[in-house]
Amino acid sequence: MTGACKDLDDAGYWSIECWGGATYDACIRYLNEDPWERLRTFKSLMPKTPLQMLLRGQNLLGYRHYQDEVVERFCQKSAENGIGVFRIFDALNDLRNLKTSVNAVKKAGAHAQGTISYTVSPIHTTALFVDQARRLQDMGVDSICIKDMAALIKPQAAFDLVKGIKEACGADLRVHIHVHATTGVTLVSLMKAVEAGVDCVDTAISTMSLGPGHNPTESFIEMLDGTGYTTKIDVEKIHRVKDHFVSVLGRYSEFLSKVTGVETEIFKSQIPGGMLSNMESQLRQQGAGDRMKEVLEEIPLVRKDTGYVPLVTPSSQIVGTQAVLNVLMGRYKVLTGEFADLMLGYYGAGPAEKNPEIVKMAHEHAKKEPITCRPADLLMPEWNKLRSEALALAGCNGTDEDVLTYAMFPQVAPKFFTERHEGPRNLGKDPETGVSETHPAEGHQGAITGPITYTVTLSGRQHKVMVTPYQ
Amino acid sequence: MTGACKDLDDAGYWSIECWGGATYDACIRYLNEDPWERLRTFKSLMPKTPLQMLLRGQNLLGYRHYQDEVVERFCQKSAENGIGVFRIFDALNDLRNLKTSVNAVKKAGAHAQGTISYTVSPIHTTALFVDQARRLQDMGVDSICIKDMAALIKPQAAFDLVKGIKEACGADLRVHIHVHATTGVTLVSLMKAVEAGVDCVDTAISTMSLGPGHNPTESFIEMLDGTGYTTKIDVEKIHRVKDHFVSVLGRYSEFLSKVTGVETEIFKSQIPGGMLSNMESQLRQQGAGDRMKEVLEEIPLVRKDTGYVPLVTPSSQIVGTQAVLNVLMGRYKVLTGEFADLMLGYYGAGPAEKNPEIVKMAHEHAKKEPITCRPADLLMPEWNKLRSEALALAGCNGTDEDVLTYAMFPQVAPKFFTERHEGPRNLGKDPETGVSETHPAEGHQGAITGPITYTVTLSGRQHKVMVTPYQ
């Protein structure tokens, strides 16, 4: 990515999202790369443009609630290392789960963007979302983001929501919109959001756009031609960014999404693209790959029982896994711990009443009382404990950053700390030879470790045959 | 395709485009299938919905101008065999090249749609296209089509043009818009065309949409939700159509476009996607695959010399080939016969003044005088001659349909006529085994002609190896 940074920084973006979300996890789990070092590298290469991250509120980048001090330290350290804009969301749209991080971000002098996790359900009206925006404004956020992770927002809905927020919160409060391209309609939704007065939209360079990704930056810019609306983007610069990624993308083809068309059935199932593929692999592991259709019909029912939670990390995984279990074992015969926690309020308050019978089952199953308070209020201070545990790990460098890595990924951090000194692993492969880029010359001395290409002549015709040793 | 026809017919489309364009050529050249028989099959399977074809005006489906009687007979026979809607265009937007076919279609009692070949150039203003629509209306067309083969029409331009035509021609004259998806912006253009009052848009079932194809039908329908606009399409029916094509598409994967993303550089080069790949292969054949960039820069210059002809069959091929020659041999050192004809008016009148120096060169090269009349006016009656030539061919069945096949494809028809009795070839292949579907059991007795799959065990690991004999 470093080769594109100068042009990206010069292109005129309002911000560049380049950290948080799943990138931190991927760094330590697969790439043996320190995410904090990555962030500092980005900031040094893109000094002019604010760097942006996605933050799961009280969950940070992990999958549980953290006590406020951990949240505060994470926000402080992220700002110190280079993040200028924090997009903060909660899967349940429970604003109590955003409050600590919003305050911490503002204290750190950075931009706190309050986020609406957009979804579609009988209770999710424009008015409900506009009210959420108002409450975010009262909380003191610097801007609002409409986050549509499943590509469900249709053009008219986008227009109405942006317009509604602008009218309720005033023209001065910035409104951003983040959509995926999965269903094929969201570039039109961006057009309508622009007409309704949106201040900023999320796009991706065309090379890595569409399918489950975002709409192409270049198309968005061309789309506005003649409308009276314009971006501040330097088109020449982003064409160079595109050329850069075209030239390297072949090395990472195994990691690219195979989905390139549109999936309009999402409008019926309301399931984000990533969640679908997760469930398919869960079903296959259970030897039930043929029961996907039943699961797709079960999900809306489970979701209704939860009081229509939006489906986004972690609620998408929780609802999806429970739906799989319901199909395989019988409805609610087995409850996951996470699903019980969701029903009992341990992820926060949902948007509507939950099915009381299932809450009762969760109560009996988990032997926990339902709660209505902010989940993090139940947590005891944990920073010092996390710190001592982290510092006891081999390879931990003693910084708060390392403690945060351990706090968020306790299973992955120990291995990462011990291997970090080996440096980042590049998982790219030469598209011609399939040779990995990390330490290509390495291997047992004298043994053949790389692939060998033979020319085999058969019936007078030459064939290139590549033989890779089985290891 | 036959398996989808009932649902397509029941879905509620205004028309189904399923014939003409390059389909006729593909039938006789690759599929050993009588295109007229295909048309009758479609009509018997889709009796309710008007079938539509694309007609290149005086060129019919061929690459030269035909004398009026040939054009009239083609239109008559197409209507008789099942075409209800004729979309008639001319690459140069020379309306004299549409007149005969428009009149013949109306005489046959079918719907004559007059087409604007949309392009972008310094002279192609909204006013120019609106004037063309007015002149088509005066000619007596039943509706107007804006045909954007290169996906160049941006949302505001689409809005302005539809609005302009509606204002100039009256609300009662139907306006259709046909866009490709190549640049990624045209679903937004369809939204704007709808807002401007367009009566009908072209889409494709999602399975075969996007890239150089059309926008997905399902996305278009979802896009309109809540806008007050709606289609007459039965969504359940088209989901079944989609499922059908999902189930068969794997057999034809080698014929699918490899382009699935967006190509916004088209806005700069204004070159339709299909033209690009043609030129790339021309250059590679000349061992000059690395000179594409120069050709891309040459095309706009050649196009300017022609007086900014739209780039669509056949002008796209003519301009593209000349640009390749200019790069390889020096500018206008060699002129193709077709390019000379274009410069001398033998394809019709272009939208603007041509470069007089190049016209002079074409005159000297081709030893032909420039003309300003309608090109077909120079043609002598040719039906009887074509008829005797066709009837002399082995396998010709003596029908006017066969004469038309010969007239349009004199190089391909003779082989097709002799092989027609063998029946259509299905070029699909089993996606697992690669076995072709046409006569899979055929072959020399005793000899191995199909591929054989061996299981090869290497270092304890099983590999599936398919060996196909070299023929």
| Shortest alpha-carbon distance between residue B197 and chain A (Å) | 17
Do residue B223 and residue A155 have CB atoms under 8 angstroms apart? yes
Cis peptide bond upstream of B314, omega within 30: yes
Residues 6+ apart with CB under 8 A from A432: none
pLDDT band at B453 (very low <50, low <70, confident <90, very high): low
Residue among B157, B267, B460 whose CB faces A226 most closely:
B157
User: Measured on CA atoms in the order B281, B283, B289, B294, is the torsion positive or negative?
Assistant: negative
Do residue B222 and residue A183 have CB atoms under 8 angstroms apart? yes
Q: How much is the average pLDDT of A375-403? A: 98
Q: How far apart are CA B337 and CA A383, in angstroms?
A: 81
Q: How much is the average pLDDT of A72-99? A: 98
pLDDT over 50 (residue A471): no
pLDDT digits (tens, 9 = 90+) for B317-338: 899 999 999 999 999 999 999 9
- Of B292 and A261, which is predicted with more confidence? B292
pLDDT digits (tens, 9 = 90+) for B8-44: 999 999 999 999 988 999 999 999 999 999 999 999 9
Domains by residue range for chain A, with CATH: 2-255 (3.20.20.70), 271-377 (1.10.472.90)
Do residue B239 and residue A207 have CB atoms under 8 angstroms apart? no
Q: How many residues does chain A have?
A: 471
Coil, strand or helix: which one is B127? helix
pLDDT of residue A283: 87
Query: Which residue(s) pair with B461 in the sheet?
Result: B458
User: Measured on CA atoms in the order A7, A11, A12, A18, is the torsion positive or negative?
Assistant: negative
pLDDT digits (tens, 9 = 90+) for A110-153: 999 999 999 999 999 999 999 999 999 999 999 999 999 999 99
Closest of A318, A312, A316 to residue A343, by C-alpha: A318
Q: Where are the beta strands (DSSP E) in B314-471?
A: 452-458, 461-467
Q: How far apart are CA B403 and CA B62, in angstroms?
A: 13
Q: What residues of A are in contact with residue B296 (Cβ under 8 Å)?
A: none
Q: How far is CA B293 from the centre of its chain?
A: 26
pLDDT of residue A454: 54
Q: Which helix (H) or strand (E) holds A101?
A: helix A96-107
pLDDT band at B442 (very low <50, low <70, confident <90, very high): very low
Q: How much is the average pLDDT of B432-457? A: 55
pLDDT over 60 (residue B444): no
pLDDT of residue A456: 52
What type of residue sits at position B236?
E
- The answer to whether B185 and B151 have CB atoms below 8 angstroms apart is yes
| Shortest alpha-carbon distance between residue A397 and chain B (Å) | 43
Question: How many percent of chain B have pLDDT more than 90?
Answer: 76
pLDDT of residue B467: 52
For A423, other C-beta atoms within 10 Å of its C-beta total: 12
Question: How many percent of chain B have pLDDT more than 70?
Answer: 92
Indicate which of B159, B194, B231, B262 best probes the interface with A, i.e. most A CBs within 10 Å of its own CB.
Answer: B262
- Of B448 and A7, which is predicted with more confidence? A7
pLDDT digits (tens, 9 = 90+) for B220-238: 999 999 999 999 999 999 9
| Shortest alpha-carbon distance between residue B118 and chain A (Å) | 17
Question: How is B232-243 classified by DSSP, letter by letter?
Answer: ---HHHHHHHHH
Do residue A209 and residue B262 have CB atoms under 8 angstroms apart? yes
Closest of B418, B412, B394, B413 to residue B402, by C-alpha: B413
pLDDT of residue A232: 96
Residue among A188, A261, A458 whose CB faces B188 most closely:
A188
pLDDT digits (tens, 9 = 90+) for B119-162: 999 999 999 999 999 999 999 999 999 999 999 999 999 999 99
pLDDT of residue A290: 87
Residue among A184, A191, A209 whose CB faces B216 most closely:
A184
pLDDT of residue A432: 80
pLDDT of residue B440: 44
Neighbour-count burial of B357, counting CB atoms closer than 10 A to its CB (0-12 exposed, 13-18 middle, 19+ buried): exposed
Q: How far apart are CA A463 and CA A458, in angstroms?
A: 7
pLDDT band at B261 (very low <50, low <70, confident <90, very high): confident
Q: What residues of A are in contact with residue B460 (Cβ under 8 Å)?
A: 470
Closest of B40, B20, B35 to residue B417, by C-alpha: B35
pLDDT of residue A448: 46
Q: Which helix (H) or strand (E) holds A249?
A: helix A235-249
Closest of A318, A414, A392 to residue A362, by C-alpha: A318
Closest of B266, B21, B52, B43 to residue B176, by C-alpha: B52
- Of B287 and B37, which is predicted with more confidence? B37
Indicate which of B180, B185, B210, B462 best probes the interface with A, i.e. most A CBs within 10 Å of its own CB.
Answer: B185
Residues 6+ apart with CB under 8 A from B401: B34, B36, B77, B81
Chain A nearest-CA residue for B262: A206
Q: How far apart are CA A268 and CA A264, in angstroms?
A: 8
- A110 φψ region: left (φ > 0), alpha (ψ -120 to 50), beta (else): beta
Q: How much is the average pLDDT of A162-190? A: 96
pLDDT of residue B325: 94
Neighbour-count burial of B335, counting CB atoms closer than 10 A to its CB (0-12 exposed, 13-18 middle, 19+ buried): buried
User: Measured on CA atoms in the order B204, B205, B210, B215, is the torsion positive or negative?
Assistant: positive
pLDDT band at A176 (very low <50, low <70, confident <90, very high): very high
Q: What residues of B are in contact with residue A210 (Cβ under 8 Å)?
A: 184, 260-262
Coil, strand or helix: which one is B169? helix
Query: Which residue(s) pair with A452 in the sheet?
Result: A467
User: Does the beta carbon of B122 lie under 8 angstroms from any beta carbon of chain A?
Assistant: no
Please state the φ and ψ torsions of residue B55, each to the nearest 5 degrees: -125, 130
Please state the φ and ψ torsions of residue B237, each to the nearest 5 degrees: -65, -45
Q: Which of B93-107, B167-181, B263-277 has the lowest mean pLDDT?
A: B263-277
Q: Maximum Cα–Cα distance for chain A, whole Å?
A: 78
Q: How far apart are CA A383 and CA A388, in angstroms?
A: 9
Average pLDDT, chain A: 91
User: Does the beta carbon of A218 lie under 8 angstroms from any beta carbon of chain B?
Assistant: yes
pLDDT over 70 (residue B117): yes
Question: How many percent of chain A have pLDDT more than 70?
Answer: 92
For A50, other C-beta atoms within 10 Å of its C-beta total: 16
Do residue B156 and residue A207 have CB atoms under 8 angstroms apart? no
Q: How far apart are CA A128 and CA B366, in angstroms?
A: 73
Q: What is the dihedral of CA A433, A434, A439, A442, to 10 degrees?
A: -70
pLDDT of residue A332: 97
- This prediction's pTM: 0.88
Enter the tokens of residue B242: 């989609």
- The answer to whether A196 and A162 have CB atoms below 8 angstroms apart is yes
pLDDT over 60 (residue B45): yes
pLDDT of residue A445: 39
Q: How far apart are CA B26 and CA B32, in angstroms?
A: 9
pLDDT band at A259 (very low <50, low <70, confident <90, very high): low
User: Does the beta carbon of A216 lie under 8 angstroms from any beta carbon of chain B?
Assistant: yes
Which residue is listed with tokens 């699961």? A295
Please state the φ and ψ torsions of residue A133, each to the nearest 5 degrees: -60, -45
pLDDT of residue B269: 72
Q: What residues of A are in contact with residue B185 (Cβ under 8 Å)?
A: 187, 219, 222-223
pLDDT band at A442 (very low <50, low <70, confident <90, very high): very low
pLDDT over 90 (residue B439): no
Chain A nearest-CA residue for B184: A219
pLDDT over 80 (residue B443): no
Q: How far apart are CA B308 and CA B324, in angstroms?
A: 18
pLDDT band at B92 (very low <50, low <70, confident <90, very high): very high
pLDDT of residue B272: 74
pLDDT over 80 (residue A221): yes
Average pLDDT, chain B: 91
Q: Which helix (H) or strand (E) holds A404?
A: helix A400-408
The gap between the terminal CA atoms of chain A, to the nearest Å, is 31
- Chain B, 141 to 160: residues with Cβ < 8 Å from chain A are 154-157, 160
pLDDT of residue B286: 85
Q: What residues of B are in contact with residue A216 (Cβ under 8 Å)?
A: 184, 261-262, 264
Q: How far apart are CA A89 and CA A146, in angstroms?
A: 10
Q: What residues of B are in contact with residue A215 (Cβ under 8 Å)?
A: 184
Enter the tokens of residue B45: 């399977």
Q: What residues of B are in contact with residue A222 (Cβ under 8 Å)?
A: 154, 183-185, 264, 267
